[in-house]
Amino acid sequence: MSGRLHDPGWRGFGSDNHAGVHPEVLEAIGRANGGHQPAYGDDAYTARLREVIRERFGAGAEAFPVFNGTGANVVALQAMTRPWEAVICPATSHINVDECGAPERMGGVKLLEVRTPDGRLTPELIAPRVWGLGDVHHVQPRVVALAETSEYGTNYTPEALAEVCAYAHDAGMFVYMDGSRLSNAAAALDVPLRALTTDAGVDLVSLGGTKNGLMFGEAVVVLNPDAALGVPYLRKGSMQLTSKMRFASAQLLALYEGDLWLRNARHANAMAVRLAEAVAAVPGVEITQPVEANAVFVRLPAGAEALSERYRFGVWDESHGEWRLMTAWDTTDDDIDTLVKDLAAL
């Protein structure tokens, strides 16, 4: 089979996962190709990635590249819990809603969900789930899991994260961050990556890449070695240890060694702001959540189903007629103008 099977000029608003690979990442894969390198992470690119991660997150940070975000979550949460322990998370969190039960089935991790108004946890929301400590009949809460950005596209400030981490640590728990869109949050808040992780007290973070211009690849980053046991073995046992790791590491290097992570995230965020302003001007459209990163949540007028098929965005809350539109590193002004024109035609 030869030739393209899709229109390379078409872009939708369904997910930042729909976007292609950034040219600089493709170039990095090409540079890593040729000749032989040791497998399973003993290559020069993975060694350099470990140095870069320490530069970004602190001298004690340790990076473990994996295939995807679900794998990162499963590996990290397994490493942070024992079989009788549980993970407190927002009810809307990716680990609770969008991973087909992988943390529970594959990782054996009990999830304790918390209802939140905007996808973010606070000490007050976490507190009712912290009970039964020392009671053999009750699962023991051990980890607070949150996402930056949240599933509603909202951001935790460094101060808000520090409050959650301090509460969790005082209660004898650790904090795990799903950082698949950490770059978007850091770009929006104009802070370095470590301000939302290491400096705030986060113990482990999954460092995203796929949603920000990579072909594939994330990384489990251990910030507090006391919070995780056996990550290398769990990564292998969870089928997340890639043999030709140099190609995953080369991509992550392209993203985080310089400022590509920031450039891509800033562009996606700016496009979301522009999209929100444009669609809000259309009669019958209502913005339902703060636009703080690259997600726009809206209520749309009748007929939106046809647009969702054309632009590949989906229903977020069917009972309230709420839809989610996502922008990406390659979203253009023309993409937004075309969508708004079609939306206005409804």
Q: Is the pLDDT of residue 306 over 80?
A: yes
Record the pTM.
0.97
State the DSSP string of 172-211: T-EEEEEETTHHHHHHHHT--GGGGTTTTT-SEEEEP-GG
Instruction: Domain 23-256: give its CATH code.
Output: 3.40.640.10
Q: Which residues contact 140 (CB under 8 A, 6 or more apart)?
A: 84, 85, 86, 132, 133, 134
* Percent of the chain surpassing pLDDT 70: 99
| Cα–Cα distance measured from residue 58 to residue 275, given in angstroms and rounded to the nearest whole number | 36
Q: What's the mean pLDDT when you consider all of the chain?
A: 96
Q: What is the CA radius of gyration of the chain?
A: 20
Cβ(155)–Cβ(118) under 8 Å? no
Q: Is the pLDDT of residue 303 over 90?
A: no
The CATH class of the 260-344 domain is alpha beta
Q: Is the pLDDT of residue 319 over 90?
A: no
List, for residues 265-288, the tens digit of each pLDDT value. Answer: 999 999 999 999 999 999 999 999
List, for residues 323-335, the tens digit of each pLDDT value. Answer: 999 999 999 999 9
Q: Looking at residue 304, what is its pLDDT?
A: 84
Q: Looking at residue 1, what is its pLDDT?
A: 54
Q: Is the pLDDT of residue 2 over 80?
A: no
For the chain, residues classed under CATH 3.90.1150.10 are 260-344
For the chain, residues classed under CATH 3.40.640.10 are 23-256
